[in-house]
Amino acid sequence: MLEATTEAGRRAQRRLREEKIALLTTVQADSQPQSVPVWFI
């Protein structure tokens, strides 16, 4: 794993280690957001 050198990087690494599910949000053709839960390793 890459070493986090900024506070934002450390927060990102901490969330990636601790969170089980993330929300992936895309924008549809009519500009409406569409969010779906995704699991990741």
Which of the residues in the chain have pLDDT under 50? none
Where do runs of H (alpha helix) occur along the chain? 7-18
* Bridge partners for 27 per DSSP: 33
| pLDDT for res 4 | 78
From the CA atom positions of the chain, what is the Rg in Å?
14
| pLDDT for res 1 | 56
CA-to-CA distance for 6 and 16, rounded, in angstroms? 15
Hey, what are 1's tokens? 């794993």
**pLDDT 10s digits, 13-23:** 898 889 889 89
CA-to-CA distance for 30 and 28, rounded, in angstroms? 5
Q: What is the pTM of this model?
A: 0.51
CA-to-CA distance for 16 and 23, rounded, in angstroms? 12
